[in-house]
Structure 1
Amino acid sequence: MSSHSRQAPRGVALVVGARILEYCRITSESSVPVPRCSNPGISPPGQSGPSGRRPRPCWHCPRGVRVDRERLSHPPLPDGATTSSGHGLTTYLRQSWTFPGAAGVDRGWRGQRQFVRDTGLVVTTALGTQLEQVVWIGGGSGSGKSTVARRLAEQGGMRLYSTDEAMSRHADRMCPAQAPLLAAFRTMDMDQRWCQRSPEQMLETFHWFAGEGFGLIVEDLLALPREPVIVEGFRLLPRLVAPLSAAGRSVWLLATPEFRRKAFATRGSLWQIANRTSNPELALSNLLERDRLFTNQLTTEVETRGLRAVEVDVELTTEELMTRVRQALE
């Protein structure tokens, strides 16, 4: 062996071997039952779609579920925007492990695998290029994201995409295997959601806070015309946005608890959810604490990744907030 060559760590070799076995499993023609997807066109391995061709793995469903491209209800990903479901062993392994050239990507295999697990997407140079016109504004509920994004879009003549408005549509498109936390949330009544669990449990199990459905946001953005767009919403988690965002194109608004409560009261939504429970005071307390914990989590993620943020408190006027956001995006 050449002195310049390096031997792959034994652990990595074992993991690659496991990936090969997994690929063989999902491409086998066995009659082992596989999960069904709520998206149209899904068929188990070994069955052909209406086009007569063997269907390919659905890009955002669990491996083992296969879908015919012509029957997808959503547009196919463009060239370069791929997932860990490939069309051959080499492609499968390459797409499962490599992130060539995307801005802000953790190139270590642990970071790469985490991003794939969270989103179902593999970042490539082409995907990063197609989203370079996007401005990302994240933050917890009641932090002023919608107001800031709307004003920036109006002043700059940009398209506005609200992740909140897409939540219902995205939730309807995901099957339980894709979004297990969402499926569990749907089975709960209002008391089980907001009164019978701790704020910590609410934070850990809330589907949008866990990144479920983020791949559908990316899909929506890829389907838009290639023009500047502002994306806003609490679903924009720093760990998921960072690999896709160009430098200086993302910011998170981190509201203090006092600002958040004032914002909810001003818009008349402070008791909107709590009043639908048997104990509104407890539900509201839990909700506000959960949101405080979520903001703390965002703060940690932003600081860890060296991203930009603006603290929002009750003393800050709307114009001052707008100025700070513009500065953060320069």
Structure 2
Amino acid sequence: MILWVGGPAGAGKTTVSQLLAQKYGLVWYSVDAHARDHEERAAAAGLHVLGSGPGDFDRRPMIIEDVQAVKTSVVVEGAFVTPAMAGVAENAVWLMPSKEEQLVRLEGRNPGGEHGGLIWGWELIRGQLEGTDAHVIVVDGQTVEETLKAVEQRFGARLEGSGS
């Protein structure tokens, strides 16, 4: 089983996905944490110039290969989780703060930091979700526990029998 959790920086993807993995005995896979490995693999395949930034190569085949190699149930999370990558079935969800909420969360994480590029990511993800049947959970004002509960409700039957 593969569960997909997408959304922009500051949405709570990593925290909620880690808690979900711990609670239900799933493997946690962070797309963001594998970015360098994916860049190196793309460069080795001639799809990317190493060191030139994140690139625009398709990471989906590498992510799927990584996840299939795990041979157990996985929760995959990251800002690169798109409807095109994950589909919009019952095993996918996007956590979306408003821009204002995202800025508050990012400022709390990194006071005084530059957050403009991360706001651009919010706009990109919002654009990817428009016109799809993707399941979006608006996280404004939610605690981690409330967001986790909403994700558990979304994945419902898929989680039954997976753990506690």
TM superposition score category, shorter chain reference: 0.7 to 0.9
1:209-268 Cα deviation digits (max 9, x unpaired): x5632211111012112x2111111111101211xx7x4211111121122222222222
* Bigger radius of gyration: 1
- Name the counterpart of 1:186: 52
CA distance in structure 1 between the partners assigned to 2:124 and 2:17 by the alignment: 21
> Which of the two has greater strand per residue?
2
1:161-182 Cα deviation digits (max 9, x unpaired): 1111110111111128524xxx
Regions of 4+ moved over 4 Å:
none
The correspondence for 1:231, drawn from 48, 72, 76, is: 76
- Name the counterpart of 1:292: 122
- Name the counterpart of 1:146: 14
- Name the counterpart of 1:169: 37
CA distance in structure 2 between the partners assigned to 1:293 and 1:174 by the alignment: 26
- Name the counterpart of 2:93: 251
2:52 aligns to what SS in structure 1? helix
Q: TM-score, normalised by structure 1?
A: 0.43
Of all paired residues, the percent bearing the same amino acid is 25
- How many residues align? The count is 155
The correspondence for 1:219, drawn from 65, 76, 79, is: 65
One-letter code aligned to 1:178: L
Kept after mapping to 1: 8 A contact 2:16/2:148: yes
Q: How does 1:298-309 map to 2 (within 5 A)?
A: 298-300=128-130, 304-309=131-136
- Name the counterpart of 1:320: 146
2:125 aligns to what SS in structure 1? helix
Kept after mapping to 1: 8 A contact 2:2/2:76: yes
Q: TM-score, normalised by structure 2?
A: 0.82
Q: Name which structure has the greater RCO, CA cutoff 8 Å, separation 6+.
A: 2
Q: 1:142 to 1:156 in 2, by over 3 A?
A: same
The correspondence for 2:104, drawn from 262, 277, 284, is: 262
CA RMSD across the alignment: 2.4
CA distance in structure 1 between the partners assigned to 2:152 and 2:119 by the alignment: 29
Unaligned runs of 5+ in 2: 157-164
Kept after mapping to 2: 8 A contact 1:309/1:328: no
